[in-house]
Amino acid sequence: MKYVRYTTLALALSAGSLSVHAQESATTDIGTTDAAKLGKSFPAKPPYSPYAGRNFPTRPFFGDTHLHTSYSMDAGAFGCRLTPADALRFARGEEVTSSSGQPARLSRPLDFLVVADHSDNMGFFPDFFAGKAELLADPTGRKWYDMMQNGQGAQAALEIIGAFSQGKFPPALVYAPGTRPYHSAWLATIEANEKYNEPGRFTALIGYEWTALDKGNNLHRNVIFRDNGDKASMVDPFTCIPPQGSTNPLDLWKWMAAYEAKTGGSVLAIAHNGNLSNGTMFPVEEAFGKKLDSAYCAERAKWERLYEATQTKGDGEAHPFLSPTDEFANFERWDKGNLDGSQAKTKAMLEFEYARSALENGLKLEAKLGVNPYKFGLIGSSDAHNGLAAMEEENFFGKTTPQEPSPERINATFMNNPKTGVTIRDWEVSASGWAAVWANENTRESIWDAMQRKETYATTGTRMVVRFFGGYDFEATDAADRMPARIGYTKGVPMGGDLHAAPAGKSPTFLVAALKDPIGANLDRIQVIKGWLDAQGNVQEKIYDVAWGDAEKRKPGADGKLPSVGSTVDVGNATWSNTIGDPELITVWKDPAFDPALRAFYYVRVIEIPTPRWTAYDAKRFGVKPPAEAAMTVTERAYTSPIWYTPAK
Amino acid sequence: MRRILKEPLLHFLVFGAALFLAYGLLQRNGGSREPGQIVVTLGQIEQMAAGFAKTWQRPPTTEELAGLVRDRVREEVYCREAMALGLDREDTVIRRRLRQKMEFVSDDVAALAEPTEAELEEYLRTHADAFRVEPRFTFNQVYLDPQKHGADLASDAAKLRAQLEHAGAGADLSTLGDSRMLEPQYTDLPLGDVAQQFGEPFSKALDGLAVGRWQGPVESGYGVHLVYVRERAEGHTPVLSDVREAVRREWDNARRIAANEAFYTELLKSYTVQIEGLDDTGKAK
């Protein structure tokens, strides 16, 4: 297929060569029958519709893989009243009343949601009516049922509770064959997911959070099912309290393997908040007293396909101590201590906490042990504990119920451990983020499969579109094509993929493109971040600015540094304008320093122009004075899953 | 699961564990204080074993089951002592958990209600907007970046529109406009999806465009677009049989909220509430 270099409209107009022409009438009609006819007759021309037969994802689906409701012990204790069903309704775009009594609604619906409540203490509740048939067969049950049908539901409920607590509940109802004396919050969660899952429109993936805490260090993972409720309900979620549970990820992976073996289903796990793990999230030497071996690496790579790189409790892509020349690394940083603040952070811990250093150390481990345990893709999610996936800066409902919008929250304290002096203020909580998934369809299977192949990216709350393809044959003209995705999939692999042995004399080339959020801010720049293992076995990284906004007047200086895009933010009024930056950026980039003998990975970071942070909206709307040290602007961003290069053996 | 519970081996293990436990309790029965009695019933042990099996897809070993039972006894001892000391009182977590359990019960009760056909019809009629089938659009678009065209935006758009009108429906769009990420054609897209990808102002405008000719400029979150609507499938209010599941879901939800509210109101009736410093109407005295 021939790809033509397309010119912009302005050029076309000035050249007077606007290539607008009438097609033959036979080809103007788009329809499946026509396309089929054309296909059968092997036409010289391709079908009119360039999309016919297209089998790659055309738009990313945005969602949250990590949302808590009142079914989480801590969320409920903090006052969350919203159930999984409420959370799903909200994510679908419905207005709900938050636990603090405020009406809440998203600017636009999400495409998918994972209610991921903590598995520990999720709870069992008396199940009075597991079997409706038994209820109707029993005289007392029948009486209650009739009361409910006659509008005396409240009275019936009282009688039922009273009967139960006094041991006078008709045994036939509780212990009828095939019924269960208790139903768990887990089953209730599954039921809500089944109700609100609507293939093609909104996906409710079944999941939970395994909340492993080792001496206050965060080792949490979210477990996400590909399957429907019939399979997911065959198991109970894995917990942390022994002997049933464990805080060692090895045991979680065993649980996952047991689930798959038993049900024929599929699960994956997503770790998060390495920044609160005090150096234990991405170990390189040992874990739980055992030296890392190739089995550990293989299991981790198999089950932990993605990493949650950004969320309310801080950003986890990179740290300025580890990447001192990265001017964008100091972003929504939470590096004071571990999860409960029981141990303060030391610099030596940082290397084992952040996504970028883990990706780098993964190369090292692969060279040493033969398997890269940290070959993960990236997503962002909220970890909100109020049932509200509301991560928009101007519509941020906070991380917990007490942190829902109020004049007080900007000056409140999120956590304070007097022993260690670790204090985190509420203003530090980040309105972040989303998981963007390049799936063919908005269904459980399609979204899960895209997660499994890591065709995902993280955003800090924006819904920008990011494409990233790697191959050996991309040319500059590919960036001018009107359908970059078609070229991308034809000539390369998408984000999350692998580049194998380079053809002699060739370097990896990348087609990379970003389109702003339709209701969000313009784009500052696209960066490719390369990490590699040098000939001495040391990890290296380099950040390339590959495309940027206002390019006609914004040129890198003598030092190669791109000048700042500037800022239009009026903090006092919480406004900004899209008069700087570009709505769309696209380019083909070739690694200028490629060594085919060295392992490497490449991922993309897209930075938006500065916009008001949620703190600025709060200060404006509530007329409150923020703490002097509070960040009031934010540069929203996206991180793609890497593309890995592995040399031939 | 039921099969596992009927395993003779399991029964043996359970019996063994129970004996072990009883023995352990007897051994410890030597203090001066009158001991309370803790009985771990076979039913409870069965439940523990079933819970383990549901987590691990296998029954627990003897030692694992004994561990679960030991833990259960420890929990029981601590719970009783804690309650004797009144530690369960004024504990926010416990109070909220109890409240949540009441709500579970009340949810259960609400869930029992079966709507009649007429009730569902009525719900659909009174909430028609929530179930409306969206219109769907097949359209072409050419995008102009306002920053690139500056003061010439309007005239460039007008010129381009004239050219496009001349070319008509078959215009070759593969070289036009300023965007390479926005597609020249979108097929059979529901209005909500249009709003997701272009923003609401654009989707609202699109909804008002005539079919079969180039129009615009239409504004979006990206800039302006010239648009040709090829096909428009009208939205409509569906009949119940097409959306029964969704109507039932929403009806259930509305019913649940109402039932919970009624339940609370009913409970509240058996209390008089006095708030110090406030009068009956909630105002400060």
Give the start-to-end residue ranges of the domains of chain B: 2-89, 91-133+237-285, 134-233
CA distance B244 to chain A (A): 12
Q: What percent of chain B has pLDDT over 90?
A: 52
pLDDT in the model for residue B14: 56
Which residues in A lie closer than 8 A to residue B218 (C-beta atoms)? none
Specify whether A195 is located in the same domain as A166: no
Do A242 and B67 count as a contact with CB atoms less than 8 A apart? yes
What confidence category does residue A21 fall into, taking pLDDT thresholds of 50, 70 and 90? very low
Read off the pLDDT of each residue in A146-175 and give the average, rounded to a whole number: 71
> Is beta strand A422-425 parallel, antiparallel or unpaired with respect to A434-437?
unpaired
**Model confidence over B175-194: pLDDT tens digits?**
788 888 898 889 999 999 99
Kindly state whether B263 is in contact with chain A, defined as any CB-CB distance less than 8 angstroms: yes
Which of A24-38, A476-490, A562-576, B143-157: highest mean pLDDT? A562-576
Dihedral (CA of A352, A355, A361, A365) sign: positive
Which residues in B lie closer than 8 A to residue A34 (C-beta atoms)? none
What confidence category does residue A121 fall into, taking pLDDT thresholds of 50, 70 and 90? confident
Phi, psi of A648, rounded to the nearest 5 degrees: -65, 150
**Model confidence over A287-344: pLDDT tens digits?**
999 999 999 999 999 999 999 999 999 999 999 999 999 999 999 999 999 988 889 9
Task: Give the Cα separation of A464 and A422 in Å (integer).
Answer: 35
Task: Give the Cα separation of A309 and A316 in Å (integer).
Answer: 5
CATH architecture label of B134-233: Roll (3.10)
- Min mean pLDDT across A194-203, B36-45, B246-255 is at B36-45
In a domain, A414, yes or no: no
pLDDT in the model for residue A23: 33
Which of A239-243, A475-479, B101-105, B171-175: highest mean pLDDT? A475-479
Specify whether A99 is located in the same domain as A164: no
pLDDT in the model for residue A10: 34
Specify whether A289 is located in the same domain as A214: yes
Chain centre distance of CA B83: 36
Specify whether A142 is located in the same domain as A114: no
Kindly state whether B80 is in contact with chain A, defined as any CB-CB distance less than 8 angstroms: no
Residue A84 near residue A97 (C-beta atoms within 8 A):
no
pLDDT in the model for residue A400: 93
- Min mean pLDDT across A347-361, A627-641, B94-108, B185-199 is at B94-108
Task: Give the Cα separation of A498 and A366 in Å (integer).
Answer: 14
pLDDT in the model for residue A45: 45
Do B105 and A51 count as a contact with CB atoms less than 8 A apart? no
Specify whether A499 is located in the same domain as A626: yes
pTM of the full structure: 0.87
In a domain, A352, yes or no: yes
Do A515 and B55 count as a contact with CB atoms less than 8 A apart? no
Which residues in B lie closer than 8 A to residue A250 (C-beta atoms)? none
Q: Name residue A637's beta-bridge partners.
A: A607
- Min mean pLDDT across A173-187, A500-514, B115-129, B185-199 is at A173-187
Which of A384-388, A480-484, B267-271: highest mean pLDDT? A384-388
What confidence category does residue A349 fall into, taking pLDDT thresholds of 50, 70 and 90? very high
| The two structure tokens encoding residue A74 | 């801590």
pLDDT at A8 over 80: no
B-proximal residues of A, 31-50, CB under 8 Å? 48-50
Specify whether A139 is located in the same domain as A121: no
What confidence category does residue A40 fall into, taking pLDDT thresholds of 50, 70 and 90? very low
Q: What is the mean pLDDT of chain B?
A: 85
In a domain, A514, yes or no: yes
Specify whether A135 is located in the same domain as A213: no
**Minimum-distance CB partner of A465 among B174, B181, B230:** B181
pLDDT in the model for residue A52: 57
In a domain, A37, yes or no: no
pLDDT at A457 over 50: yes
**Model confidence over A150-164: pLDDT tens digits?**
777 777 777 777 776
Do A125 and B104 count as a contact with CB atoms less than 8 A apart? yes
Query: How many residues does the structure list for chain B?
Result: 285
Do B181 and A7 count as a contact with CB atoms less than 8 A apart? no
Question: Which residue type is seen at A338?
Answer: N
Show the DSSP H helices in A292-419 as ranges.
294-303, 347-350, 355-369
Residue B120 near residue B247 (C-beta atoms within 8 A):
yes
> For residue B264, what is the DSSP state?
H
pLDDT in the model for residue A29: 30
Specify whether A118 is located in the same domain as A164: no
Beta strands in A43-83 (DSSP E): 61-67
pLDDT at B100 over 90: no
pLDDT in the model for residue A313: 96
Which residues in B lie closer than 8 A to residue A8 (C-beta atoms)? 148, 177-178
A612 or A130: which leads in pLDDT? A612
- Min mean pLDDT across A167-181, A635-649, B143-157, B266-280 is at A167-181
> For residue A198, what is the DSSP state?
B
Residue A436, H or E segment: strand A434-437
Residue A306, H or E segment: strand A306-311
Query: What is chain A's percent helix, strand, coil content, to nearest 5?
Result: 25, 25, 50
Domain hosting A630: range is: 464-645
CA angle B132-B133-B134, nearest 5°? 105
Kindly state whether B167 is in contact with chain A, defined as any CB-CB distance less than 8 angstroms: yes
pLDDT at A543 over 80: yes
Task: Give the Cα separation of B93 and B143 in Å (integer).
Answer: 55
- Of the candidates A125, A301, A241, which has an alpha carbon nearest to the alpha carbon of residue B55? A241
pLDDT at A137 over 80: no
Specify whether A478 is located in the same domain as A604: yes
Specify whether A365 is located in the same domain as A497: no
Counting the structural domains of chain A, the total is: 3
Read off the pLDDT of each residue in A236-241 and give the average, rounded to a whole number: 90
Read off the pLDDT of each residue in A515-539 and give the average, rounded to a whole number: 97
CA distance B83 to chain A (A): 18
Task: Give the Cα separation of B172 and B216 in Å (integer).
Answer: 18
A-proximal residues of B, 54-73, CB under 8 Å? 54-58, 60, 64, 67-68, 71
What confidence category does residue B266 fall into, taking pLDDT thresholds of 50, 70 and 90? confident
- Of the candidates B187, B189, B183, which has an alpha carbon nearest to the alpha carbon of residue B134? B189
**Minimum-distance CB partner of B109 among A30, A59, A160:** A160
Kindly state whether A149 is in contact with chain B, defined as any CB-CB distance less than 8 angstroms: yes
pLDDT in the model for residue B6: 53
CA distance B69 to chain A (A): 10
Q: What percent of chain A has pLDDT over 90?
A: 72
- Of the candidates A418, A389, A385, which has an alpha carbon nearest to the alpha carbon of residue A402? A385
pLDDT in the model for residue A407: 96
pLDDT at A177 over 70: no
> Is beta strand A611-612 parallel, antiparallel or unpaired with respect to B214-219?
unpaired
Do A479 and B183 count as a contact with CB atoms less than 8 A apart? no
Which residues in A lie closer than 8 A to residue B164 (C-beta atoms)? 20
What confidence category does residue A73 fall into, taking pLDDT thresholds of 50, 70 and 90? confident
**Model confidence over A550-594: pLDDT tens digits?**
999 999 999 889 999 999 999 999 999 999 999 999 999 999 999
**Minimum-distance CB partner of A51 among B113, B148, B187:** B187
Specify whether A174 is located in the same domain as A192: no
Mutation pick from A2, A6, A11, A18 vs chain B, by most beta carbons of B within 10 Å, is A18
pLDDT at B39 over 80: yes
pLDDT in the model for residue A130: 53
> Is beta strand B136-144 parallel, antiparallel or unpaired with respect to A509-515?
unpaired
Q: What percent of chain A has pLDDT over 70?
A: 87
Which residues in B lie closer than 8 A to residue A70 (C-beta atoms)? 100
Read off the pLDDT of each residue in A21-37 and give the average, rounded to a whole number: 32
Q: What percent of chain B has pLDDT over 70?
A: 87
Read off the pLDDT of each residue in B156-180 and give the average, rounded to a whole number: 84
Read off the pLDDT of each residue in A385-401 and give the average, rounded to a whole number: 96
- Give CA separation, B114 vs A38, A146, B184, in Å: 53, 11, 49
Task: Give the Cα separation of B29 and B21 in Å (integer).
Answer: 12
Specify whether A626 is located in the same domain as A480: yes
What confidence category does residue A136 fall into, taking pLDDT thresholds of 50, 70 and 90? confident
| The two structure tokens encoding residue B122 | 């009525």
Task: Give the Cα separation of A643 and A311 in Å (integer).
Answer: 23
- Give CA separation, A21 vs A319, A356, B163, B171, in Å: 54, 50, 9, 5
